Amino acid sequence: MVPGLLLVISGPSGAGKGTLCQALREEMPEIVYSISATTRQPRPGEADGKNYYFVDKEKFQEMIAAGAFLEWALVYDNFYGTPRRPVEEALAAGKDIILEIDTQGAAQIKKSFPEGVFIFILPPSLAELEQRIRKRGTETAEVVARRLQAARAEIAALHNYDYVIVNDKVEEAVKRLKAIIIAEKCRPQRLNLKLEG
Ligand code: 5GP
């Protein structure tokens, strides 16, 4: 069987990763989405087990000790981690899976899964990014400033990625994301072709 694609999507907060993944979900419903565990508080409308597994620090530490994470990182004072089992199961079953994680986590995944596809989502500009973060309205001024600073640091890591998508218009960006996934599936090394005989 051909193993599934491990797709890693990163990009600064406000680049529109969530919107893009939501739109992709509608067009490619067969793709599995990894649900991360986090110690941050749920935002309004977020549900446990859907957006994240919301856990406290002790539980998170226990999960680290048990080797339950494929990667984990401290992002803006909160811990985030990718539960290992669902990813390994999806890939073994030939399903594609998307991890929406930060650049630190992506670097860890690249070590254990060099065959993963690493995609970076960029906002059209830093000014646009600031506007998007402010518009979200759930963050304080201090958090907005820190997120912008973190965004600059994240963007500096984009050269470690295989693809960059500038998220100017969601429909266009989704088209490019789909094109990447389709093209990656055509790589000979992924097809397990048995041509001999
Ligand atoms: P947010 O709190 O806005 O949902 O996410 C903050 C940042 O944490 C985003 O850059 C997001 O991609 C990242 N993130 C979410 N889940 C994980 C994870 O499991 N691992 C890592 N390393 N980063 C994550």
What are 53-108's pLDDT values in tens digits?
999 999 999 999 999 999 999 988 899 999 999 999 999 999 999 999 999 999 99
193 CA distance to ligand 1 middle (Å)? 36
Inter-residue contact 99 to 82 (CB < 8 Å): yes
What are 125-159's pLDDT values in tens digits?
888 888 888 877 777 888 888 888 888 989 999 99
Q: Structure pTM?
A: 0.92
Q: Strands of 69-75's sheet, edge to edge?
A: 53-54, 37-38, 78-83, 69-75
CA pair distance 95, 92, nearest whole angstrom? 7
39 CA distance to ligand 1 middle (Å)? 11
Q: 101: Cβ below 6 Å to ligand 1?
A: yes
What are 8-56's pLDDT values in tens digits?
999 998 888 999 999 999 999 999 999 999 999 999 999 999 999 999 9
Tokens of 179: 């094109």
Q: Where are the domains of the chain?
A: 6-190
CA pair distance 88, 73, nearest whole angstrom? 19
Tell the CATH topology of 6-190.
Rossmann fold (3.40.50)
Phi-psi region of 80 (alpha: psi -120 to 50; beta: other; left: phi over 0): beta
Q: 165: Cβ below 6 Å to ligand 1?
A: no
What are 173-190's pLDDT values in tens digits?
999 999 999 999 999 988
CA pair distance 183, 189, nearest whole angstrom? 12
Is 118 exposed, middle or buried (CB count within 10 Å of its CB: 0-12, 13-18, 19+)? buried
Phi, psi (deg, nearest 5) at residue 74: -95, 115
